[in-house]
Structure 1
Amino acid sequence: MRLVVGLGNPGARYARNRHNVGFMAVDLIAQRHGVSSFRSRFKGELAEGVIGGARRLLLKPRTFMNDSGESVAETARFFKISLSEIVVIHDEIDLRPGKLRVKCGGGTAGHNGLRSIDALLG
């Protein structure tokens, strides 16, 4: 994994919304690993640091959820990152709050943010 993407919607109005769990998770990862200074790039907020002994990129797209693929695709193209090197953290309406599901590949399960990424990278 070279790129960790947290999905959400921009703006204070959505900051603590369940739909923004991806942003919250990326912020927590950055905090726990001493990754600082997110900067505006590729239609998102991007930070880089060493996590697990390797250089990783953390991305919070600043497009709305349904257009997240724009930010992810621009970042992946610039850094020459393949789809298999990207981890996406997002909400899952089928799970109760506080529950987590980890999966590799598969469909978008109707998630518009994942659809956008798949359409531009898949």
Structure 2
Amino acid sequence: MKYLIVGLGNIGPEYHETRHNIGFMILDAFAKASNVVFSDNRYGAVGTTSIKGRQLILLKPSTYMNLSGNAVRYWMQKEKIPLENVLILVDDLALPYGTLRLKSKGSDAGHNGLKHIAQILGTQNYARLRFGIGSEFSRGHQIDYVLNPFSSEELSEMDEHIKVAQDIIKSFCLAGIDITMNQFNKRK
């Protein structure tokens, strides 16, 4: 059984460890813990690992956030991965910092990466793990906020939140989305 785990972010050193790149950060930590090395491939950096007989394709799209759907569709088709085995890791302004919410479907909530994925796949019925980045910005400064690095206070708690995100990814692949939502969405 195969799974596609997609961390959303923007490529380039200027975006490294910005709030909008939390999907890349989670996937990097997951890969490091699994001794996975990413290689440049079509539409992104790709790595593979296995957990209890399940193969995980880890993808960091190289398409920029607002074209993420192209990478998701390509790797789903290439690896013959069904929609129910796709998990998107994404930042969420509507959640307080560090809050993790797994959803089996839903709106894009104004997120350009999720919007493009839904447009390309023709559905909003795909799993996403939303990582709360908070909304500590003044009116009209949302773009500056998401494209800036996390604060030192946020970074001091980051490892703990990313560890939980990794546990959610594993549970999604091993126990399924319903059990994983019941177990993890009750926290914080």
TM-score (normalised: structure 1): 0.92
- Residue aligned with 1:90, SS: strand
Q: Distance in 1 between matches of 2:48 and 2:14?
A: 26
1:67–1:113 Cα contact (<8 Å) kept: yes
Using CA pairs under 8 Å that are at least 6 residues apart, name the structure with larger relative contact order, 1 or 2: 1
Number of aligned pairs? Answer: 121
**2:110 is matched by which residue type in structure 1?**
G
- CA root-mean-square deviation: 1.3
Residues 35-74 of structure 1 aligned to structure 2 (within 5 Å): 35-36=36-37, 38-74=38-74
Unmatched tracts of structure 1, length 5 or more: none
Larger Rg: 2
Q: Is the 8 A contact 1:33 1:51 kept in 2?
A: no
Contact 1:5–1:22 (CA under 8 A) maintained in structure 2: yes
Gaps in structure 2 of 5+ consecutive residues? 124-188
C-alpha distance in structure 2 between counterparts of 1:35 and 1:51, whole Å: 12
Q: Report the CA distance between 1:97 and its aligned residue.
A: 2.0
Q: Match for residue 116 of structure 1? A: 116
| Range with bigger deviation, 45-54 or 65-74 | 45-54
Q: Which residue does 2:99 correspond to in 1?
A: 99
Distance 2:52 2:20 in 1: 27
1:3 matched to which residue of 2? 4
1:26 matched to which residue of 2?
27
Deviation at 1:82, TM superposition (A): 1.8
Moved more, 104-113 or 13-22: 104-113
- Distance in 1 (CA, whole Å) between partners of 2:120 and 2:42 is 14
More helix by share: 2
Moved over 6 A (4+): none
- Report the 3-state secondary structure (helix = DSSP H, G, I; strand = E; otherwise coil) of the residue aligned with 2:100: coil
Would the alpha carbon gap of residues 52 and 88 (structure 1) be closer, same or farther in structure 2, given more than 3 Å must change?
farther
TM-score by length of 2: 0.61
